[in-house]
C-alpha cells in the first residue's frame, strides 16, 4: 500500500493556508527585493530596552517564569493601563502574559469558544484571525469595512450590517484598533455602537490594540474596556512587538475579567507554558519609558508615512491614508492587472519591492483583488531604496 502522508492531517488544517504575509518576506529574500511586506521594523529597538534584556540574562533570569507572567511585567502593564486608558486592573487576577499577542488571541479564542460559536470580524482583517477562529472551533462572520471615497476619507462600516451580524450564536467580536491593514482608528461613536450591541446580545469583545501608540492626525486610541458596561465583557490584547520594535521577542498579553483570565491562563499554560523570562523583565523596563518615547515613536512613523505615500501615489497607486498603525493600503486598479497576486509577483520579481496582496485580508479573494498593502516600519534608506525601484512603475 502506498504511503499517503496527507491522510495523517487534520480536517482543520485543510481549512486555511500558510500566512501570505510571512511568505512575502521569504519571496523578498529570494528575489533580493526591498521588503515592505511584513510588519517588522528594520531599525534598532530602544537601547534601554535591549540593555534590560542583556542584564536579565546576565542575572540568570533564564528559567521558566510564572506561567501567566512575571510579577514585574504584570505590574507594569497594570500601571500603564491605568495611566493611558484610566482602567484599573488587578495584575494578580486579570493579566496573562503570552508568547506575543498572536498567542494571546488564540489562547483567548480557545478559552471562550465552543464549536459552532460565531465570532464577528471586521474585513479586511489581520490574516491570523481567520485560522485562529477555525482552530478554536468558531465560525468567523465578517462585517465589511468600506474604503474611503476621498483621499482624506475614513474606512467606515454600515451600522445595519454590523447589527445584523449579532445573533444568538455570536460569542465574540474582534476589534483591532488602530487597524491592520487599513490604518483605521475606530472612533468613540463606532466603539459605543459596538458596546451597545455587545451588551444587548451578551457578547464578549476581544480587542487587538497592538498599534495603540502609533497614531496620526490627532486621532485618539480608545480601549473598548474603558467604555461603560465593557469592563466585564472585554479581553484587551496588547504586546511589546510594535511599540518597542521587538517583534522577534514574542511577548504579549491579555487583560480580562478574573473568570476569563483563569480560562485563558489554563489554555496558555498547556500551549506554551510561558513567554521568554528575561524578555519579560526587559518588557517591564520598556513599559516604564518616558512619555517622550511614545511621542517620538508616533512622530517617526508619521514622517515615514508622509515619505512613502507620495512615492506610491507618484508610481500610480491610489493610497488610503492611514490614521494609525504602520501600513498603507492601496488600490492598484490603475495598473490594469487581473489580480493582486499577479501584481505583487511582478512587483517583487521585476520591480524589486515586496508588498502584501490585498486578497490575504479578505475571506473572498475577489474583494481584495485590486488592493495591495505596504508596511512603512522601515529606515529612511529602506523607504528611499523602495522609492527608487518604484519609479520604474511610473516610467511604464
Ligand X SMILES: Cc1ncc(COP(=O)(O)O)c(C=O)c1O
Start-end of H helices in the chain: 20-31, 47-58, 71-85, 100-112, 129-135, 159-165, 188-201, 258-272, 277-287, 291-315, 340-346, 380-394
Alpha-carbon distance of 70 to 281, in angstroms, equals: 7
Task: Please say whether the dihedral angle defined by the alpha carbons of residues 3, 5, 11 and 14, taken in this order, is positive or negative.
Answer: negative
Alpha-carbon distance of 109 to 137, in angstroms, equals: 9
**Does residue 107 belong to the site contacting ligand X (CB under 6 A)?**
no
Alpha-carbon distance of 206 to 105, in angstroms, equals: 8
**Least separation, in Å, of the C-beta of 328 and ligand X?**
14
**Does residue 108 belong to the site contacting ligand X (CB under 6 A)?**
no
Pick between residue 129 and residue 317 the one whose CB is nearest to ligand X: 129
Pick between residue 180 and residue 223 the one whose CB is nearest to ligand X: 180
Contacts of 371 (CB under 8 A, 6+ apart): 124, 329, 330, 331, 332, 340, 357, 358, 359, 361
Q: Judge whether 178 and 211 are in contact, CB under 8 Å.
A: yes
Alpha-carbon distance of 344 to 358, in angstroms, equals: 9
Pick between residue 118 and residue 209 the one whose CB is nearest to ligand X: 209
**Least separation, in Å, of the C-beta of 16 and ligand X?**
16
Among 70, 102, 133, 182, binds ligand X (CB under 6 A): 102
Q: Tell me the Cα Rg of the chain.
A: 21
**Does residue 247 belong to the site contacting ligand X (CB under 6 A)?**
yes
Cell triple for 166: 449579532
DSSP, res 362: S
Pick between residue 272 and residue 313 the one whose CB is nearest to ligand X: 272
Among 176, 254, 261, 382, binds ligand X (CB under 6 A): 176
Task: Please say whether the dihedral angle defined by the alpha carbons of residues 29, 33, 34 and 40, taken in this order, is positive or negative.
Answer: negative
Segment lying near ligand X (by CB under 6 A), choices 162-170, 239-247, 284-292, 296-304: 239-247
- Greatest distance between any 2 Cα atoms in the chain: 67
- At residue 133, the 3 state secondary structure works out as helix
**Does residue 252 belong to the site contacting ligand X (CB under 6 A)?**
yes
Cell triple for 381: 534608506
**Does residue 276 belong to the site contacting ligand X (CB under 6 A)?**
no
Among 41, 91, 131, 239, binds ligand X (CB under 6 A): 239
**Does residue 180 belong to the site contacting ligand X (CB under 6 A)?**
yes
Pick between residue 72 and residue 180 the one whose CB is nearest to ligand X: 180
Segment lying near ligand X (by CB under 6 A), choices 24-32, 94-102, 115-123, 193-201: 94-102
Among 91, 100, 324, 358, binds ligand X (CB under 6 A): 100
Contacting ligand X within 192-211 (CB under 6 A): 208, 210
Q: Judge whether 224 and 194 are in contact, CB under 8 Å.
A: yes
**Count of residues interacting with ligand X (CB under 6 A):** 13
**Does residue 254 belong to the site contacting ligand X (CB under 6 A)?**
no
Cell triple for 346: 511582478
- Residue closest to ligand X when measured from CB atoms: 100
Pick between residue 223 and residue 337 the one whose CB is nearest to ligand X: 223
Nearest to 105 by CA among 285, 231, 271, 224: 271
**Least separation, in Å, of the C-beta of 162 and ligand X?**
19
Pick between residue 45 and residue 315 the one whose CB is nearest to ligand X: 45
**Least separation, in Å, of the C-beta of 104 and ligand X?**
7
**Least separation, in Å, of the C-beta of 355 and ligand X?**
14
Note the residues at the interface with ligand X (CB under 6 A).
Answer: 39, 100-102, 126, 176, 180, 208, 210, 239, 241, 247, 252
Amino acid at each position: 500500500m502506498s504511503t499517503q502522508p496527507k491522510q495523517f492531517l487534520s480536517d482543520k488544517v485543510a481549512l486555511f493556508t500558510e500566512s501570505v504575509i510571512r511568505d512575502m518576506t521569504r519571496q523578498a529574500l529570494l528575489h533580493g527585493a526591498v521588503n515592505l511586506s511584513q510588519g517588522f521594523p528594520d531599525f534598532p529597538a530602544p537601547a534601554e530596552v535591549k540593555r534590560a534584556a542583556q542584564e536579565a540574562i546576565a542575572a540568570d533570569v533564564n528559567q521558566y517564569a510564572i506561567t501567566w507572567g512575571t510579577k514585574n511585567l504584570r505590574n507594569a502593564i497594570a500601571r500603564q493601563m491605568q495611566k493611558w486608558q484610566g482602567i484599573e486592573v488587578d495584575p494578580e487576577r486579570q493579566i496573562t502574559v503570552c508568547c506575543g499577542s498572536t498567542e494571546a488571541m488564540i489562547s483567548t479564542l480557545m478559552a471562550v469558544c465552543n464549536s459552532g460559536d460565531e465570532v464577528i470580524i471586521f474585513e479586511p482583517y489581520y490574516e491570523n484571525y481567520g485560522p485562529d477562529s477555525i482552530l478554536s472551533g468558531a465560525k468567523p462572520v465578517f462585517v465589511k469595512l468600506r474604503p474611503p471615497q476621498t483621499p482624506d476619507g475614513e474606512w467606515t462600516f454600515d451600522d445595519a450590517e454590523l447589527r445584523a451580524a449579532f445573533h444568538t450564536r455570536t460569542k465574540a467580536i474582534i476589534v483591532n484598533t488602530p487597524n491592520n491593514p487599513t490604518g483605521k482608528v475606530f472612533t468613540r461613536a463606532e466603539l459605543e455602537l459596538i458596546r451597545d450591541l455587545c451588551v444587548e446580545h451578551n457578547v464578549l469583545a476581544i480587542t487587538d490594540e497592538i498599534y495603540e501608540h502609533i497614531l496620526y492626525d490627532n486621532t485618539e486610541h480608545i480601549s473598548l474596556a474603558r467604555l461603560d458596561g465593557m469592563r466585564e465583557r472585554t479581553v484587551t490584547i496588547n504586546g511589546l512587538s510594535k511599540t518597542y520594535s521587538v517583534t522577534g521577542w514574542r511577548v504579549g498579553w491579555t487583560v480580562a475579567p478574573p473568570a476569563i483570565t483563569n480560562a485563558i491562563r489554563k489554555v496558555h499554560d498547556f500551549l506554551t507554558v510561558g513567554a521568554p523570562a528575561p524578555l519579560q523583565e526587559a518588557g517591564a523596563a520598556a513599559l516604564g519609558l518616558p512619555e517622550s518615547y511614545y511621542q517620538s515613536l508616533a512622530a517617526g512613523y508619521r514622517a515615514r508615512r508622509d515619505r512613502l505615500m507620495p512615492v506610491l501615489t507618484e508610481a500610480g497607486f491610489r493610497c488610503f491614508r492611514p490614521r494609525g498603525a504602520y501600513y498603507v493600503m492601496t488600490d492598484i486598479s490603475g495598473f490594469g492587472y487581473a489580480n493582486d497576486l499577479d501584481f505583487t509577483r511582478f512587483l517583487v520579481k521585476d520591480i524589486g519591492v515586496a508588498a502584501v496582496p490585498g486578497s490575504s485580508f479578505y475571506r473572498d479573494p475577489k474583494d481584495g483583488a485590486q488592493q495591495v498593502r505596504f508596511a512603512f516600519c522601515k529606515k529612511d534608506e529602506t523607504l528611499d531604496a523602495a522609492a527608487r525601484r518604484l519609479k520604474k512603475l511610473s516610467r511604464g
